[in-house]
Chains A and B, each alone.
Chain A
Amino acid sequence: DQQVKQNSPSLSVQEGRISILNCDYTNSMFDYFLWYKKYPAEGPTFLISISSIKDKNEDGRFTVFLNKSAKHLSLHIVPSQPGDSAVYFCAAGTGTASKLTFGTGTRLQVTL
């Protein structure tokens, strides 16, 4: 049972445009959501997070939106840069344990 789903395995965006990565979840107990970025041959790096009491969190070029009623979150990257090309994982956690459930990842390619 995949509780966190990233239905788009890949996404290609032109440099300077907006990248939108999507994530859906099924467990209504999740109350904290995170995005990680992963380059080849490296460990995932934490990018941005959002608590379920918020619907938006912004950090520079990165904004995460949370729609609790739809059980959907998205990551917006504006403007996209070639260095943003990586695999992006969304993850979710609950208040009862310090464990995260990860999605399967979306490979973003930012083209010139």
Chain B
Amino acid sequence: DAGITQSPRHKVTETGTPVTLRCHQTENHRYMYWYRQDPGHGLRLIHYSYGVKDTDKGEVSDGYSVSRSKTEDFLLTLESATSSQTSVYFCAISPVGRGDYEQYFGPGTRLTVT
């Protein structure tokens, strides 16, 4: 158990509203990631963080922003949600020292934008 929680687990929101998803880890891992999963696309990286206040873009970052003010929390914000952002969002962490590539995932947040 990698000690990752995501909140909320489910959310329905209207187009144009801001939405923030939270990822919380209990084990002080340096690297954290946000992915979205869509049919036919697999898992696509949105943003990732390699330390407090250190973040970078992934392949599908448009329309999303992130923040990491504490090691344990990584927030994903949709500034103005659109229907194309309806998806399942997964947070992941990468434990340094156990293989830089292995990532461990949270349970996911299902977001529906109406």
List A residues at the B interface (Cβ < 8 Å): 6, 32, 34, 36, 41-46, 49, 89, 91, 93, 98-105
Contacts and interface: CB of A to CB of B under 8 A. Distances in A.
B66 to A, nearest CB: 14
A6 B43 CA distance: 12
B14 interface: no
Contact of A46 (B41, B42, B58, B103): B103
Interface of B is mostly: strand
B100 interface: yes
Contacts of B90: 43-44
Interface residues of B, number: 26
Nearest to B99: A49
A32 B101 contact: yes
Nearest to B50: A98
Interface string B2-27: 00100000000000000000000000
A102 B44 contact: yes
Contacts of B43: 44, 89, 91, 102
